[in-house]
């Protein structure tokens, strides 16, 4: 499902680029009406199919339709980009005309395939209109529904690390506030929410405190009637069993019975594993507020849901510390017995590798308990994640799969994309979002940029407790994130099953790997390198669209000759410039190179959005023709002035350009500034000549982050004007006149300020300056003091 959606969205991006932003200097020939027809059909399926259908649920017909959509979209985009590449690389007009004719014929075939799919969808709509049809999005049926019982087990479950939470929650349940209140517990799958709620529910104090208690596990498969009857069954044992549903009783009649049963009594209702706010809202309608301290306790994996329904801040459960992890593992294996000394070191190592997830610790404890020998434990230690996920009943994977199944379709490709990263890899959020954009996962919405939408997607995955935050700025923006190993394993399994991503972490000797690569658009290599490259299969061209290598030496065999249609190339190796210039359809290129001097041929990369070079990057004048550029980053960028306009060629604005990082001796002339009107992040390094016309920086009305560095001995030339849109400003060794520095304090949106190695002794500022400043970093060795009025800047942390 995720692969089909991603392929379709990516196709619409490619077609939009041809229709709306064709490269003006490359003269690509195509039939506009035909391309528009294909675009319309792709949009119809996006709107009609993916908005009305959530999961195949194991239905063969639906799975076949998903595959058909994905294959058709992938083939159509392949055809378009392949023929565009041939037209750009064509040596003669005859070659280009042949490619153009073939493009017309191939797109016509794609249109017919989409028409056939439309007919299938029409039939599907008729089927969906039948009563009790489980294809409807309102249905909660899922082939991976939780197998948890509707009632909690009696007694006390082992619980480590959450004692403080239990005390706080019991306090919230028993507080003197008389009105009906909802308390929510939130955390990732398997972190212990149900265990904590069970221990609270069965605690003798709570049993004594409430006259009536009832528990219902909602999960993803529920009906209102089942919930209401389940609660009634516990409260009144004389009422019919929850599984014996009488169709004659409607929801209102059952709810009214529940209301009358609870009226005037002090009760505790637990709704475990909540995924949908509608379920809570419906039940709450029938729960009387008796003003006697009654409570509702909800557990969920979704932070937004927990916040929306709760009467107070949710109780967020975090991963266990290392010592707590070992305590839980030891207790599950040995109970009250002592762990043998020869097993303790290995046991602690295994506990650490579970990364604080109680579910993983409980599952691995069952594996270790089967054989309490050093040999067995050492073998498990080598690959803990596989041992957790490869149990016969796959109980751990089933629980975690619920989180994936619950994702809206637009988030599923973004989540599965984490499969490209190695385990325990710290991911730069900015890089991740740029990759999502380059892969074509993100649909345009309103006036927001694709990157802004991508950041919202990432925050949504974090709120759903699928992604962990490693570092968040004081402004709230996520800078680094990662994914838990067991969820990473889930990503890789689902991505490979969907032919979405193929990832390797070892040497690749098997020539049969080519079979998988022919059907999988994305390849991730970590610590592996192809061997036996003399064999014929490895000299073949492979239709892989994305290649990411996370270890040096892994990408040396992955050349443009093997992957002519690559769109994403992200490697940590030195990659030949000539190879990059052959990747005509590339959208994202990141590599190492001490000095990369690009030729005019770079303008042939008609789709290039992101160029990242770990080294010096020398760009030609043709860079000003590349209207799709969004981010250009290097250790040092030599950027030529744009060519003067002529009467024939229209001036091309780089309206998509958002990041220009570490430009040496940037000439801030109006001609340059006008070409990059939407830049948000700009880094300038002034050399011995300085940078002229820095006052023109004030014309960059979208600029949010500015880094300005002066090489020792350099002075700024002329006045500096900062745009009012600035949110972050870093000044390094800048000998800026004080009158210009004082203007910094009046910037209305400035949240982050870093002044490094400036000859500043006395800072003149008052409490009207820096109205939004949250972070201030000073590296001024001669500074005697900072203004006392800084203490009155309320946002400053």
- What CATH number did the domain enclosing 207 receive? 3.40.50.300
CB 458 within 8 A of CB 478: yes
> Closest by alpha carbon to 348, among 371, 372, 375, 327?
327
User: pLDDT higher for 613 or 151?
Assistant: 613
Could you read off the pLDDT of 68-89 as tens digits, one per residue? 999 999 999 999 999 999 888 8
d(CA 747, CA 70): 49
CB 453 within 8 A of CB 445: yes
Residue partners of 345: CB distance under 8 A and separation at least 6: none
693 is a domain residue: no
147 is a domain residue: no
724 is a domain residue: no
Mean pLDDT of 50-65: 70
CB 174 within 8 A of CB 183: no
Q: What integer pLDDT is reported at residue 774 of this predicted model?
A: 83
Could you read off the pLDDT of 426-464 as tens digits, one per residue? 999 999 999 999 999 999 988 899 999 999 999 999 999
- What CATH number did the domain enclosing 66 receive? 1.20.5.4130
Q: What integer pLDDT is reported at residue 600 of this predicted model?
A: 93
pLDDT bucket at 247, cuts 50 / 70 / 90: low
Q: Given a cut of 90, is residue 299 above it in pLDDT? A: yes
Q: What integer pLDDT is reported at residue 757 of this predicted model?
A: 63
d(CA 471, CA 452): 18
Residues 307 and 326 in one domain: no
The phi-psi region of residue 459 (left if phi > 0; otherwise alpha if psi is between -120 and 50; otherwise beta) is alpha
Q: Given a cut of 80, is residue 509 above it in pLDDT? A: no
609 is a domain residue: no
Mean pLDDT of 406-425: 95
d(CA 748, CA 744): 9
Residues 41 and 78 in one domain: yes
Last residue of a domain, one of 66, 101, 128: 128
Mean pLDDT of 604-631: 95
Residues 284 and 348 in one domain: no
Q: What integer pLDDT is reported at residue 379 of this predicted model?
A: 94
Mean pLDDT of 687-694: 62
Residues 254 and 358 in one domain: no
Q: Given a cut of 50, is residue 18 above it in pLDDT? A: yes
Q: Which helix (H) or strand (E) holds 754?
A: strand 752-756
User: CA of 291: how far to CAs of 170, 211, 591, in Å?
Assistant: 18, 14, 65
Residues 218 and 360 in one domain: no
> Closest by alpha carbon to 633, among 589, 667, 602?
589
CB 644 within 8 A of CB 625: no
Mean pLDDT of 565-581: 90
Backbone angles phi, psi at 738, to 5 degrees: -60, -35
Chain centroid, CA 214 distance in Å = 37
Residues 424 and 358 in one domain: no
Helix or strand or coil: residue 679? coil
Q: What integer pLDDT is reported at residue 627 of this predicted model?
A: 92
d(CA 659, CA 609): 11
Residues 270 and 368 in one domain: no
Beta pairing, strands 478-482 & 468-472: antiparallel
Residues 312 and 342 in one domain: no
Strands (E), 437-567: 468-472, 478-482, 502-504, 522-525, 546-549
d(CA 285, CA 730): 54
Residues 26 and 115 in one domain: yes
Backbone angles phi, psi at 131, to 5 degrees: -65, 145
Strands (E), 198-340: 212-217, 267-274, 295-300, 315-316
Mean pLDDT of 122-147: 55
CB 258 within 8 A of CB 288: no
Domain extent for 512: 501-574
Mean pLDDT of 339-344: 95
613 is a domain residue: no
Last residue of a domain, one of 107, 128, 149: 128
- What CATH number did the domain enclosing 462 receive? 1.10.10.10
Q: Given a cut of 70, is residue 714 above it in pLDDT? A: no
Chain centroid, CA 533 distance in Å = 35
CB 138 within 8 A of CB 185: no
428 is a domain residue: yes
d(CA 580, CA 559): 9
651 is a domain residue: no
Residues 328 and 248 in one domain: no
pLDDT bucket at 344, cuts 50 / 70 / 90: very high
* Cβ neighbours, 10 Å, residue 277: 16
CB 797 within 8 A of CB 776: no
d(CA 739, CA 333): 69
Residues 312 and 335 in one domain: no
Could you read off the pLDDT of 147-199 as tens digits, one per residue? 455 666 655 667 788 999 999 999 999 998 999 999 999 999 999 999 999 99
pLDDT bucket at 322, cuts 50 / 70 / 90: very high
Mean pLDDT of 120-145: 58
Mean pLDDT of 569-586: 91
Q: What integer pLDDT is reported at residue 200 of this predicted model?
A: 96
Q: Given a cut of 50, is residue 239 above it in pLDDT? A: no
**What 8-state DSSP symbol labels residue 668?**
-
d(CA 565, CA 744): 47
CB 795 within 8 A of CB 769: no
Which tokens belong to 769?
């300056």
Q: Given a cut of 60, is residue 305 above it in pLDDT? A: yes
Q: What integer pLDDT is reported at residue 726 of this predicted model?
A: 95
d(CA 545, CA 141): 35
Mean pLDDT of 106-129: 87
d(CA 136, CA 438): 32
pLDDT bucket at 139, cuts 50 / 70 / 90: very low
* Structural domains counted in the chain: 5
The phi-psi region of residue 762 (left if phi > 0; otherwise alpha if psi is between -120 and 50; otherwise beta) is beta
**Strand order, beta sheet including 267-274:** 212-217, 267-274, 295-300, 181-186, 315-316
473 is a domain residue: yes
Q: Find which of 141-155, 221-235, 411-425 is predicted with most confidence, using mean pLDDT.
A: 411-425
Q: Given a cut of 90, is residue 144 above it in pLDDT? A: no
Q: What integer pLDDT is reported at residue 409 of this predicted model?
A: 94
Mean pLDDT (the chain, rounded)? 85
Helix or strand or coil: residue 731? strand
d(CA 725, CA 733): 23
> Where do runs of H (alpha helix) occur along 409-567?
412-416, 429-439, 450-463, 485-497, 513-517
Residues 452 and 543 in one domain: no
d(CA 163, CA 156): 13
R_g (Cα) of the chain, nearest Å: 30
Q: Given a cut of 50, is residue 240 above it in pLDDT? A: no
Last residue of a domain, one of 553, 574, 595: 574
User: Which of these ranges, 234-238, 419-423, 665-669, has the smallest mean pLDDT?
Assistant: 234-238
- Write the DSSP assignment of 117-172 as a string of letters: HHHHHHHHHHHHTSTT-TTSTT----TT-----SSPPSS-----S-HHHHHHHHHH
Mean pLDDT of 454-482: 94
* Cβ neighbours, 10 Å, residue 153: 11
CB 142 within 8 A of CB 57: yes
Mean pLDDT of 279-297: 94
Could you read off the pLDDT of 637-669 as tens digits, one per residue? 999 988 887 765 678 899 999 999 999 988 888
Helix or strand or coil: residue 719? coil
């Amino acid at each position: 499902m995720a692969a089909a959606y991603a392929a379709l969205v990516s196709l619409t991006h490619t077609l939009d680029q041809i229709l709306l932003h064709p490269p003006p200097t490359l003269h690509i020939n195509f039939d506009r009406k035909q391309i528009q027809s294909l675009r319309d059909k792709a949009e119809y399926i996006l709107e009609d199919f993916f908005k009305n259908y959530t999961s195949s649920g194991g239905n063969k017909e639906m799975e076949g339709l998903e595959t058909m959509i994905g294959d058709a979209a992938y083939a159509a985009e392949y055809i378009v980009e392949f023929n565009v590449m041939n037209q750009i690389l064509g040596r003669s007009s005859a070659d280009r005309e042949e490619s153009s004719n073939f493009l017309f014929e191939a797109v016509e075939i794609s249109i017919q395939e989409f028409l056939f799919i439309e007919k299938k969808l029409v039939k599907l709509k008729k089927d969906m209109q039948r009563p009790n049809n489980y294809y409807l999005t309102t249905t909660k049926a899922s082939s991976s529904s939780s197998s948890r019982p509707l009632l909690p087990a009696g007694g006390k479950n082992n619980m480590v690390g959450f004692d403080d939470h239990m005390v706080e929650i019991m306090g919230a349940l028993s507080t003197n506030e008389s009105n009906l209140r909802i308390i929510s517990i939130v955390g990732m799958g398997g972190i212990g929410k149900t265990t904590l709620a069970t221990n609270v529910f069965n605690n003798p104090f709570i049993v004594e405190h409430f006259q009536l208690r009832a528990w219902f596990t909602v999960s993803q498969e529920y009906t209102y009637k089942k919930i209401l009857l389940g609660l009634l069954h516990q409260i009144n044992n004389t009422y019919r069993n929850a599984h014996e549903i009488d169709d004659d009783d409607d929801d209102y009649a059952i709810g009214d019975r529940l209301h009358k049963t609870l009226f005037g009594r002090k009760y505790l209702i637990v709704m475990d594993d909540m995924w949908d706010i509608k379920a809570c809202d419906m039940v709450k309608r029938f729960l009387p507020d008796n003003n006697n301290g009654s409570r509702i306790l909800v557990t969920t994996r979704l932070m937004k849901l927990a916040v929306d329904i709760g009467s107070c801040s949710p109780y967020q459960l975090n991963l266990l510390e290392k010592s707590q992890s070992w305590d839980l593992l030891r207790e599950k294996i040995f109970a009250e017995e002592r762990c043998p000394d020869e097993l303790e070191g290995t046991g602690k190592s295994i506990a650490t590798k579970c990364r604080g997830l109680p579910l993983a610790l409980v599952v691995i404890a069952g594996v270790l308990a089967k054989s309490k020998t050093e040999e067995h434990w050492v073998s498990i230690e080598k690959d803990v994640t596989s041992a957790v996920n490869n149990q016969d009943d796959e109980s751990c994977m089933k629980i975690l799969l619920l989180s994936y199944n619950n994702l809206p379709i637009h988030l599923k490709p973004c989540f599965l994309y984490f499969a490209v990263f190695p385990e325990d890899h710290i991911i730069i959020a900015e890089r991740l979002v740029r990759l999502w954009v380059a892969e074509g996962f993100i649909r345009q919405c309103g006036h927001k940029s694709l990157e802004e939408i991508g950041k919202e997607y990432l925050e949504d995955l974090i709120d759903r407790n699928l992604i962990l935050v490693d570092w968040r700025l004081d402004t709230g923006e996520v800078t680094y994130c990662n994914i838990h190993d067991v969820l990473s394993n889930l990503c890789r399994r689902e991505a490979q099953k969907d032919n979405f991503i193929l990832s390797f972490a070892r040497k690749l000797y098997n020539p049969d790997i080519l079979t998988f690569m022919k059907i999988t658009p994305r390849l991730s290599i970590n610590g592996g390198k192809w061997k036996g490259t003399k064999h014929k299969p490895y000299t073949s061209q492979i239709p892989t669209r994305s290649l990411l290598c996370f270890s040096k030496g892994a990408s040396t065999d992955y050349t443009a000759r093997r992957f002519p249609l690559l769109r994403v190339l992200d490697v940590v190796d030195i990659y030949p410039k000539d190879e990059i210039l052959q990747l005509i359809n590339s959208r994202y290129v990141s590599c190492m190179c001490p000095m990369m001097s690009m030729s005019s041929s770079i303008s042939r990369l008609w789709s290039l959005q992101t160029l990242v070079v770990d080294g010096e990057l020398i760009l030609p004048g043709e860079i000003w023709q590349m209207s799709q550029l969004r981010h250009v980053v290097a250790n040092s960028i030599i950027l030529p002035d744009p060519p003067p306009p002529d009467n024939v060629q229209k001036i091309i604005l780089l309206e998509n350009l958002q990041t220009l990082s570490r430009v040496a001796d940037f000439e801030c002339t109006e001609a340059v500034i006008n070409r990059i009107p939407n830049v948000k992040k700009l880094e300038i390094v002034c050399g011995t000549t300085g940078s002229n016309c820095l006052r023109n920086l004030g014309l960059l009305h979208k600029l949010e982050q500015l880094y300005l560095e002066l090489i020792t001995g350099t002075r700024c030339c002329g006045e500096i004007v900062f745009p009012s849109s600035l949110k972050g400003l870093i000044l390094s060794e800048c000998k800026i006149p004080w009158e210009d520095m004082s203007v910094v304090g009046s910037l209305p949106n400035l949240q982050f300020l870093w002044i490094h190695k400036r000859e500043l002794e006395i800072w003149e500022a008052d409490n009207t300056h820096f109205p939004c400043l949250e972070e201030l970093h000073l590296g001024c060795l001669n500074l005697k003091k900072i203004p006392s009025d800084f203490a009155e800047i309320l946002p400053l942390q």
